[in-house]
């Protein structure tokens, strides 16, 4: 069973994305040169971009048919880690991670408790009360990862989640992602060490996807 099916095209400035692929459950590494379209593919699946032609199906449901059907991002079962992490500056680190739970109606105390666990997983439990702006870039990225891991969803989308990670934490964080609860994980990465660890791997070059090896 394919969890994500996309067949169509998307034009964004100079980039023309031509897609015809199915992505299965498990961890898929997405590699490719800068500007090849890796982020665009992720954004398309998330719902930040629309197809110009074709259709996109998540778990059998058509979420985008380049016409009248379009399921907005917040109604798709996805979680996203941005390359520029995008933490909420007006909330503490803990409240950032608790945000997904709070939006799903979880009461403050319970949400904070769950958030604390996720923070501990990324090794930042001490920094719960401070504002994101006071963290280093690497730390902010870890909080963003914790926030995504805290989001209950079928699909986890990560755009260079470990780019700013220092070597000592990289290994632990990599394990976290590999063991994420989300059934489908798409991980855009530059790092060959990361790329080796996925169940599947696709390469994107100039808007085209080479679907290749299962491990």
Partner 1 sequence: MTTPRRTIPRPLILPAVLAVALLVLPVFGLLLEAPWSSLIERLTSEAVLDAMRVSLVVSASAAALCLALGLPLAWVLANSERRGIGVMRAFVLLPMVLPPVVGGTALLFALGRRGFFGEWLDWGVGITLPFTTAGAIVAATFVALPFFVTTLESSLREQGTNLDEAAAAVGSSPWATFVHVTLPTQRGAIAAGLALSWARALGEFGATITFAGSLGGRTRTLPLETFLALESDPESAVAISVLLLAVSLTVLIALRGKWFAR
Residue 104 binds to partner 1 (criterion: CB under 8 A): yes
With contact defined as beta carbons under 8 Å apart, do 116 and 94 qualify?
A: yes
Residue range at the interface with partner 1 (CB under 8 A); choices 53-61, 144-152, 179-187, 203-211: 144-152
User: 16: which residues sit within 8 A by CB, 6+ positions away?
Assistant: 9, 10, 207
Q: Which of 62, 69, 73, 179 binds partner 1 (CB under 8 A)?
A: 73
x-or-dash string of contact with partner 1, 30-69, rule CB under 8 A? ----------------xxx---------------------
CB of 171 to partner 1, least distance (A): 26
């009461």: which residue's tokens?
107
CA proximity to 10, closest of 58, 43, 57, 59: 43
Q: Which of 99, 121, 132, 145 binds partner 1 (CB under 8 A)?
A: 99
Question: What interhelical angle do 137-149 and 108-121 show, nearest 10?
Answer: 120
Strand partners, 186: 28, 157
User: 27: which residues sit within 8 A by CB, 6+ positions away?
Assistant: 177, 178, 185, 187, 197, 198, 199, 200
Q: Which of 72, 107, 168, 192 binds partner 1 (CB under 8 A)?
A: 72
Number of residues that bind partner 1 (CB under 8 A): 28
Residue range at the interface with partner 1 (CB under 8 A); choices 14-22, 29-37, 97-105, 127-135: 97-105
Pseudo-torsion of CA 210, 4, 20, 189, nearest 10°?
Answer: -30
Nearer to partner 1, 78 or 165 (CB): 78
Residue 89 binds to partner 1 (criterion: CB under 8 A): yes
User: Token pair for residue 103?
Assistant: 């939006």
Which positions lie near partner 1, rule CB under 8 A? 46-48, 72-74, 78-80, 82, 84, 86-91, 99-100, 102-104, 147-148, 150-153
């Amino acid at each position: 069973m394919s969890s994500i099916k996309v067949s169509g095209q998307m034009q964004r400035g100079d980039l023309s994305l031509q897609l015809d692929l199915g992505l299965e459950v498990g961890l898929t590494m997405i590699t490719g040169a800068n500007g090849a379209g890796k982020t665009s593919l992720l954004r398309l699946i998330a719902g930040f971009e629309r197809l110009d032609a074709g259709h996109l199906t998540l778990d059998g449901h058509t979420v985008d048919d380049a016409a009248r059907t379009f399921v907005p991002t917040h109604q798709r079962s996805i979680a996203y880690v941005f390359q520029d992490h995008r933490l909420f500056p007006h909330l503490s680190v803990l409240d950032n991670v608790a945000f997904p739970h709070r939006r799903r109606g979880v009461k403050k105390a319970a949400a904070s408790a769950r958030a604390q666990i996720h923070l501990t997983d990324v090794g930042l439990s001490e920094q719960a009360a401070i504002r994101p702006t006071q963290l280093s870039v690497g730390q902010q990225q870890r909080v963003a990862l914790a926030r995504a891991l805290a989001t209950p969803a079928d699909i986890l989308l990560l755009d260079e989640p470990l780019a700013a990670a220092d070597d000592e934490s990289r290994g632990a964080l990599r394990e976290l992602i590999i063991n994420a609860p989300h059934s489908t994980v798409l991980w855009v990465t530059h790092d060959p060490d990361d790329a080796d660890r996925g169940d599947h791997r696709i390469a994107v070059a100039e808007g085209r996807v080479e679907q290749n090896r299962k491990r």
